Amino acid sequence: MRRASALALALVLVCARGTNSQTLTQRGFAEGVVFLFPQTTSNDATQVVGDGLVREEVFWKPAAWLRFAAGLDVRASSHDEVEPGWRFDFGDRGIQRPRLSARRLAGTLTHGGLNIDVGKQFIRWGKTDIVTPTDRFAPRDFLNVISSELLPVIGARASYQRGAEAFEGVWVPRLTPSRLPLLGQRWTSVPQEADTVPIVDAGSVFPTGAQAGARWSHVGAGFEYSLSFFHGFNHLPTIESAVAGVPPAQVLLRAYPAIRAYGADAALPTHWFTLKVEAEYFTLRPGDAPATPPGGEGLPPVLTDDYVLYGIQLERQAGEWVFIGGYIGDVVTENRSAIAFAPDRGLAKSIVGRASYTVDPRRNLAFEGVVHQNGQGLYAKFEYSESRGQHWRVTLSGVGIAGSDTDFIGQYHRNSNVSTTVRYSF
């Protein structure tokens, strides 16, 4: 599979290079980021982290009804966030980021209002900006929890638009999980007991079986809304743990609960602001008995809560300012006491805000903040970005995090940082 994918990727890239420029578009960049953390954490003494990424994407349209897209990522890290070897990765299931991976490799057939996309691609649902609970086919890379990047999925999507109505069906034969923070690094908060009982990462147990989803959208005059359904697995895992071995160690295993989810979203632009709402009800699949994960004998069955996650936000643009403010909430309808890594739920019961200002065509400022309504967690970020010439952009960021160890945001209170990003786009 991996070899075939690499060959297909190379074929598209090479063939596309030889075609008429009218049918070919390309974009890419090389980027370097340096993070400086003023504080160490109990499991990570590294205070300077550097990451590098080169990305190239090619879009080739050999005929009006046919398109191909291919993309390649090459990564490096000073802090073991990237796999050491040069294996070509297509599945995005590794604990570390792959050094060499396919970002996308897909073909698109078009006939009238019908689109069929097959291959590795990005599928985005939802309307809100900070937490998008209906975005079920959009796993993320959470190695840096507060700066996550979208991951593609492998599957097929059929979309049909007729007038104001759009229908979408998605089939994904296997789960692409979100990538979690590494156990030995600062974005994993380690409890005090770890000093006496070592923690062992037993990896992931991936479920078998396909995922499917459907979405209906209506784009009306000045108003739009969608309804969606998902049948598959949560790309965010529950964490199964057990004490095993001599001397005893805490063994952690990631498992992905089988869920169904029902979602809705809407956007209502008014004269003064745009109102966006989005909600999803997550439930263990009815009829599916909670199962012990294969390979996880001795561990409890994979459970997850039933809950509703929702976001409400207001947007307002005034001159060169853009303001977004809102609230993220959740309602647990059945608590099964599952331990999960869930940044989306971790932001629930929070007030969120973002303001950005375009200084001029070259320079931008942005500020964003999240505060839990109980005051136990606070995140604030300031960013200044400036382009140089046609290709260069420099971004300076500062992130402040405060709160208690028991809060999802607050647990990262020693991870405040400043960073510099230099990007060359081509």
List contacts with another protein (CB under 8 A).
25, 27-29, 59, 64, 67, 69, 108, 110, 112-113, 115, 122, 124, 150, 159, 161, 166, 219, 221-222, 224, 267, 269-274, 315-320, 322, 358, 360-362, 387, 390-391, 393, 423, 425-426
Closest separation in Å from C-beta 14 to another protein: 19
Q: Which C-beta is closer to another protein: that of 126 or that of 207?
A: 126
Closest separation in Å from C-beta 398 to another protein: 22
Tokens representing residue 30 in the block? 């090389």
Closest separation in Å from C-beta 93 to another protein: 21
Q: Under DSSP, is residue 369 helix (H, G, I), strand (E, B) or coil? A: strand
CA–CA separation, 46 and 38 (whole Å): 10
Q: Which C-beta is closer to another protein: that of 39 or that of 317?
A: 317
Tokens representing residue 381 in the block? 């970020």
Question: Is residue 392 within a helix (H) or strand (E), and if so which, with residue range?
Answer: strand 392-403
11-12-17 Cα angle (round to 5): 100
Closest separation in Å from C-beta 195 to another protein: 41
Q: Are 55 and 45 in contact (CB under 8 A)?
A: no
Closest separation in Å from C-beta 193 to another protein: 39
Closest separation in Å from C-beta 254 to another protein: 25
Q: Which C-beta is closer to another protein: that of 317 or that of 406?
A: 317
Tokens representing residue 307 in the block? 């809950």
Q: Which C-beta is closer to another protein: that of 84 or that of 112?
A: 112
Q: Which C-beta is closer to another protein: that of 2 or that of 391?
A: 391
Question: Is residue 391 within a helix (H) or strand (E), and if so which, with residue range?
Answer: none
Closest separation in Å from C-beta 152 to another protein: 9
Task: Provide DSSP, 233-300.
Answer: E-SSPEEEEEEETTTTEEEEEEE--EEEEEEEEEEEE-SS-EEEEEEEEEEEPTT----PPTT-TTSP
CA–CA separation, 271 and 256 (whole Å): 43
Q: Which C-beta is closer to another protein: that of 179 or that of 413?
A: 179
Closest separation in Å from C-beta 291 to another protein: 33
Q: Which C-beta is closer to another protein: that of 238 or that of 395?
A: 395
Closest separation in Å from C-beta 265 to another protein: 12
Q: Which C-beta is closer to another protein: that of 2 or that of 362?
A: 362
Query: Which among 282, 376, 373, 384 is positioned nearest to 326, based on CA atoms?
Result: 373
Q: Tell me the backbone φ, ψ of residue 14, rounded to 5 degrees.
A: -70, -45
Q: Which C-beta is closer to another protein: that of 298 or that of 361?
A: 361
Query: Which among 83, 108, 104 is positioned nearest to 28, based on CA atoms?
Result: 104
Cβ count near 191 (within 10 Å)? 11
The answer for 319, left when phi > 0, alpha when psi is -120 to 50, beta otherwise, is left
Cβ count near 112 (within 10 Å)? 9
